[in-house]
Amino acid sequence: MDRILIKDLLVRCIVGVNEDERTEKQDVVINIALTTDLRPAGTSDRFTDAVDYRAIKKRVYAMVEESRFFLVEALAEQIAAICLEDPRVQQVQVSVEKPTALRFARSVGVEITRTRDG
């Protein structure tokens, strides 16, 4: 299968368990890989045959910006669910990183893979 990559989407949101994380928005960096068959769009060159990754990005961005999760794991699950709403997306890989979460580390994050059939 083929993949569509959305790399380094930067969003500010409330995520975390510490008191300051519950009141101050912080940066999260999101990477998404959508597994789909790109042949229909590749051969027809028609937008209607393509996964609308711009629309997916907008839905993800809006949800994350308004979210108030305690765990990045829960945030990643919700992002994956949004991506799988498009019936052409068979699998999604999502990584969510918090660049300022750990002192002396560039970032900390999670990566999950979810499929349409569970």
**Closest Cα to residue 9, out of 36, 32, 35?**
32
pTM of the model as a whole: 0.95
Tell me the average pLDDT of the chain. 96
Per the structure, the complete domain to which residue 66 belongs is given by 2-115
pLDDT in tens, 83-104: 999 999 999 999 999 998 888 9
pLDDT score for 96: 98
Return the SS3 of 54. Answer: helix
Q: What is the CATH number of the domain that holds 79?
A: 3.30.1130.10
pLDDT band with cut points at 50, 70 and 90 for residue 47 = very high
Q: Is 53 left (phi over 0), alpha (psi -120 to 50) or beta?
A: alpha
User: Is the confidence at residue 75, as pLDDT, over 90?
Assistant: yes
User: Is the confidence at residue 80, as pLDDT, over 80?
Assistant: yes
pLDDT score for 102: 85
Whether 57 is a known active-site residue: answer no
Instruction: Please count the structural domains in the chain.
Output: 1
Higher per-residue confidence, 112 vs 118: 112
pLDDT score for 62: 98
